[in-house]
Structure 1
């Protein structure tokens, strides 16, 4: 299972634009691929010359996302279906090796973070600035577009963001999940000094916890099923309050107990104005709807089932609760880089496991089993590489 297959399908292993001119690299290019029949394998992938407006990068760090596990285990996320071999990975940072024609914002040796979604740039949504909703987005690691779990990757220079020296590759790779949170917080409208509830203490939830505190929300409560993750949350963001979710209790009962932590049992004024729901689990979404203050906002950041049947429609309606959703992010990398470089938020504590690229299968396996205690698993590649 861990051996490298030297065959490849050029359709899925190429750059986002499907370039077919190969580049001779100094090192091999092992890649972690998922198959349509729910398997993962290490495959030697071709390295493409950067075309017009593109840059070839040496991927130094890629974080494993829950979506990578979903594509492996279930073969799909909603309408996104794995129909053939595809290189996984989209939380990435690396170094520019070579620039294609027309690239003026980058040069070889630049350290960059990868914004993985490449929109069409011409549809009405792109023209409105809502490029995250583009129907024709080419997203790294989503079939048929090759992801970043490989040593070398061609990517449009427009979607590569230079990072300062005080931001590590590990931190820069975390800009992708941070971007998800930043987009959610912007749409939710967190307010300084107002209470907030974060549902879920996974990587996104913990990032949301840190971002909510940095945004001035207080008090902040975070929920999860796993006591170890709640203990980590208390050490990661001192002063936060935690609630262990209990599926044996109804959402209404859990919401009442959560409200007590805010001091809202007797005065509902102090109930959370904003809920950042980071699990996508139906029961957690419903709990958030009952926990939020009347007139408040429940922002669903987590990815859940295609259909939810038990949302408390009349409660949401009569309480004028804004139930909102996000799709990835837009224009978040510059703000995220400023947060990390300026010390506004720290994410490096979330990295619990690191694996070399050659052990990517082991990394994905560890990440897929929550009993291993992983929070954020990253795959790193430290081989020396000359710039051209």
Structure 2
């Protein structure tokens, strides 16, 4: 039996004035079809920091204070009316999106593209950087006892990478380039390696992050972008790492930053007739897009929007130790110090990869 909450509900909140602070939120009561979850682990995503600093991502505006956090796992402590597939005490990873379930996109299985989706931590829908949070029972997934809550929270960034690889042309025995050695890039690298793609090259501007990637995956080839060179010149150097012929070049490039330079480099590295998949989230518009390079080479450019049907396979990948995500967590904070955790996540000088809130 899990005791119902008797303590406070610290919640990490940001507002449109670019303030970040911990509030004492209310403990909600689950409605029909919902459960109340004791959030045991919640990771900080770059989008959380972006909302704090910029107040928006694309057209998604932060208008009033909002609780951040969408990478979460926890324990079911109360059931709403009609919930029969779960019981109090179940350990769950949380899928943070609630689509309408009625539109044509939902009906054809592309519920991540639902235009009426309620996504936790995107205003006006509070996220999971709080000790207690209600959520639809349709979008929680049981995790085995062998998985930690931190691993359960990391299912979310793994799901992003998983959806990107699903949409790419990644192939066993063929090379791939991953651009960006942050959490999403490292999750993508882990899945690419597990898939049998080879050789694998990862590119970033940060030597420290590339060193981290090399420590996690000794066989990966790293390339640090030279900021004195053009994007095309860096692309030429990356291509040399794959081999001397056009056939050696990667048919699959996975861009995990959303930064203009990364997209351009990716376009010039991708083999003719290959696929450039943009996983990263960036500005609303980019100024330089190598249209004719992509056109003449018949390179497919694909994008992703979050994920769908990803939690069960990603849970299995982690639980069965096909991929190891533990090293991604570099800093841990309690919920009461979530504001310090956010500041740590925003400061690249401290070597953070994934900052995690935990409530034991």
1:116-155, Cα deviation, whole Å (9 max, x unpaired): 0000000111001000000010011111111001110000
Match in the other structure for 1:379: 357
Q: Offset at 1:42?
A: 1.1
Match in the other structure for 2:273: 295
Q: Offset at 1:24?
A: 7.4
Aligned pairs for 1:28-39 (under 5 A) are: 28-39=8-19
1:70-125, Cα deviation, whole Å (9 max, x unpaired): 00000000011000011110000000001111111110000000000000000111
Is residue 328 from structure 1 mapped to residue 280 from structure 2 by the alignment?
Answer: no
Match in the other structure for 2:5: 25
Q: Check the 8 A contact 2:335/2:359 in 1, yes or no.
A: yes
1:17-74, Cα deviation, whole Å (9 max, x unpaired): xxxxxx9731111111111111111111111111111000000000000000000000
Aligned pairs for 1:216-295 (under 5 A) are: 216-263=196-243, 266-295=244-273
Aligned pairs for 1:80-119 (under 5 A) are: 80-119=60-99
- Report the 3-state secondary structure (helix = DSSP H, G, I; strand = E; otherwise coil) of the residue aligned with 1:258: helix
Q: Check the 8 A contact 1:276/1:301 in 2, yes or no.
A: yes
Q: Check the 8 A contact 1:58/1:152 in 2, yes or no.
A: yes
Q: Check the 8 A contact 2:97/2:119 in 1, yes or no.
A: yes
2:189 to 205, 209, 215: 209
Unaligned runs of 5+ in 2: none
If the length of structure 2 is used for normalisation, what is the TM-score? 0.98
If the length of structure 1 is used for normalisation, what is the TM-score? 0.91
1:359 to 337, 341, 359: 337
Is residue 173 from structure 1 mapped to residue 153 from structure 2 by the alignment?
Answer: yes
Distance 1:24 1:342 in 2: 32
Is residue 311 from structure 1 mapped to residue 265 from structure 2 by the alignment?
Answer: no
Q: Check the 8 A contact 2:161/2:187 in 1, yes or no.
A: yes
Q: Check the 8 A contact 1:56/1:153 in 2, yes or no.
A: yes
Match in the other structure for 2:328: 350
Is residue 200 from structure 1 mapped to residue 180 from structure 2 by the alignment?
Answer: yes
1:324-379, Cα deviation, whole Å (9 max, x unpaired): 10000000000001101111111011000000111100000011010011000000
Aligned pairs for 1:60-79 (under 5 A) are: 60-79=40-59
1:238-278, Cα deviation, whole Å (9 max, x unpaired): 20000001222111111110011111xx3110001100100
Match in the other structure for 1:4: none
1:57 to 30, 37, 61: 37
Distance 1:27 1:122 in 2: 38
Distance 1:168 1:276 in 2: 28
Q: Check the 8 A contact 1:24/1:47 in 2, yes or no.
A: no
Distance 1:238 1:201 in 2: 14
Match in the other structure for 1:149: 129
Match in the other structure for 1:11: none
- Report the 3-state secondary structure (helix = DSSP H, G, I; strand = E; otherwise coil) of the residue aligned with 1:112: strand
Q: Check the 8 A contact 1:51/1:101 in 2, yes or no.
A: yes
Is residue 129 from structure 1 mapped to residue 146 from structure 2 by the alignment?
Answer: no
1:230/1:343 CA distance change after superposition, 3 Å: same
Distance 2:236 2:170 in 1: 22
Q: Check the 8 A contact 2:76/2:91 in 1, yes or no.
A: yes
Give the paired residue count.
358
